[in-house]
Amino acid sequence: MEIRAVAVIGLGTMGAGIAEVFARAGLPVTGIEADPAALAAGLARITASLDKAVARGKLTQAERDAIAGRVTPGSGPADAAGADLVIEVIPEQLGLKRQIIAELDRSGRPDSIIATNTSSLSVTAIAAASAHPGRVVGMHFFNPAPVMRLVEVVTTVGTDPAVAAAVTELARRLGKTPVQVTDRAGFVANALLLPYLNHAARLLETGYATRADIDAAATEGIGLPMGPLALLDLIGLDTSLAVLDVLRHEFGGSRATPAPILRRLTDAGRTGRKGGGGFYDYPERDAPASADSSFSANADRPADPGTVTLIDPVAAAGPGDAARPDHSERAADLASLIAAAGISVTRNPSHPSDLAVVAIGPQGGVLGPATAAGRAADSVGLHLATPALAELVATPLTSPGALAAAQALVARLGLAVVRAPDRPGLLVGALLYPHLRDAITMVADGYASPADVDAAMTLGCGYPRGPMRMLADVGLGQAVDVLAAMHAGYGDPAFAPPPLLVECARAGIGLDGQPT
């Protein structure tokens, strides 16, 4: 099946971008909108995008004119009759999409490929509206289509393999990276991204952490380009809610069940940037308003503690995380860091000091060692999530004075800081490890390969590292330990270590079967 001409039905932001992608690749494109005003607006979007490329030196004027000349306007499905591939990019409403598919049966060529750009609806249900469901396939581009390199090619139980092969090859001709998956809610990227974002919303709603700390934990602690709450605002809370409803219908469970705050904000008209406000306010629809971070670098802070008592969880014989022998090494590293900042460090819990610090890992566990050392009131936990970010953990028994002294200590060490409760996962891990678990489960189910999972998230969601690379970086053993602690602490099956992860960790191999 050779695709030489295409038609795009729907020239909104996404459809116009897809039409531009096809035209840039040298394919004649028919851009279809039933409403004349919508058609004019869609063609104007393409023109504006090409003009911007010329202004930036990405295209010459001649190239711009040639691309624009490949786009022909159309007013209905009948104008797609000459296309080898027709892709619908209309709103995410199953009834509307099925109606378009049925109309293409009546007015289009019987041998043309019909693609849907749905991001979350069932491609199988859409294809069922056609008398020839074997020619229907999902071709999910990401916004902005001219920039984002990922295309998810989604096949149903009835899709002709030749159709899938032709669309996959077309994606490569467009300069994109295709990831081929079978029809499942959310495909790869949305099925991984939205539960992670939803969990962040739930952490905020339950008072687990502040919005600024949640977003900082993702950007500074995980290395993602945008925090989850800011990203929800960018995507649109109403759009995110609609995708989560689809995921919940298919998968159930806490990860896919929308956090109530998403529905409340949406009902209030706070849909994110496009609505002028969501989790953040956007008076100029630009960057989030000033954040409510735990500590401000410019705020007055108390004097540095004169002496810090460092409590080694292993030596203190605390419960939970203290059983891990690598905590002695972690405590030694933290002692060196504090000493290098010119602050005295003692390992004797009975020695008088301004502050006691428990060196913890991502599993948490401050209160047990602090109580065992007799320093519960003046103890905090400190976890170096990265060399530049500290997670500061207070317990219900930590005094305000100890917390203030810890603030001064972290500032003296020159670290960014987020506050986390003394619970399994802390904050960075509470966001990261369940997200990795979702990706591992997807691989274990045979739905996507480790390479495809990473491609989907790096190319489709802008991750600098995919989940499989993140997993390798933190270590499979640590992922098992943190998830096990979260599962034990919360009882939620969504946190239980997947059997594939446990098996690979014990065998010393990655999910791809290669030695770690």
Query: Has this prediction a pTM greater than 0.85?
Result: yes
Closest C-alpha to 417, from 504, 313, 293: 293
Active site residue 190: yes
What the chain holds in terms of domains, given with CATH numbers, is 6-182 (3.40.50.720), 189-208+232-275 (no CATH), 307-421 (3.40.50), 428-507 (1.10.1040.50)
pLDDT at 349 (0 to 100): 87
pLDDT at 322 (0 to 100): 41
pLDDT at 289 (0 to 100): 55
The bridge status of strand 136-141 relative to strand 113-116 is parallel
Q: Which entry of 20, 152, 220, 391 is annotated as an active-site residue?
A: 152
pLDDT at 232 (0 to 100): 97
HSE of 290, CA atoms in CB hemisphere, 13 A: 3
> Helix axis angle, 189-205 relative to 237-251, nearest 10°?
110
Residue 412 C-alpha from the chain's centroid: 33
Calpha distance 275→278 (Å, rounded) = 7
Token couple for 301: 């802070």
Residue 16 identity: A
Calpha distance 205→83 (Å, rounded) = 49
**b/e burial code for range 263-276 (CB count within 10 A of at least 16 → b):** eebbeeebbbbbbe
Token couple for 143: 């916004």
Q: Which entry of 122, 140, 220, 435 is annotated as an active-site residue?
A: 140
- For the chain, helix (H) and strand (E) counts, in that order, are 21, 14
Calpha distance 474→187 (Å, rounded) = 26
Contact yes or no for 201/262 (Cβ under 8 A)? yes
Report the C-alpha dihedral over residues 334, 335, 337, 338, rounded to 10 degrees.
Answer: 120
Q: Is the dihedral of CA 414, 419, 421, 424 positive or negative?
A: negative
- 219 CB-near residues (< 8 Å, 6+ apart): 225, 226, 227
Active site residue 143: no
pLDDT at 283 (0 to 100): 79
Active site residue 152: yes
Q: Which entry of 119, 120, 122, 198 is annotated as an active-site residue?
A: 119
Residue 276 identity: G
Residue 285 identity: R
pLDDT at 296 (0 to 100): 41
Contact yes or no for 469/223 (Cβ under 8 A)? no
Active site residue 399: no
Token couple for 246: 């689809």
Q: Which entry of 190, 198, 240, 293 is annotated as an active-site residue?
A: 190
Per-residue pLDDT tens, the chain, 516 aa: give them. 789 999 999 999 999 999 999 999 999 999 999 999 999 999 999 999 999 999 999 999 999 999 999 999 999 999 999 999 999 999 889 999 999 999 998 887 888 999 999 987 899 999 999 999 999 999 999 988 999 999 999 999 999 999 999 999 999 999 999 998 999 999 999 999 999 999 999 999 999 999 999 999 999 999 999 999 999 999 999 989 999 999 999 999 999 999 999 999 999 999 999 889 999 999 764 556 545 555 444 345 567 788 999 997 765 544 444 445 566 788 888 999 999 999 999 988 888 888 999 999 999 999 999 999 999 999 999 999 999 999 999 999 999 999 999 999 999 999 999 999 999 999 999 999 999 999 999 999 999 999 999 999 999 999 999 999 999 999 999 999 999 999 999 999 999 999 999 999 999 999 988 888
Residues in the chain: 516
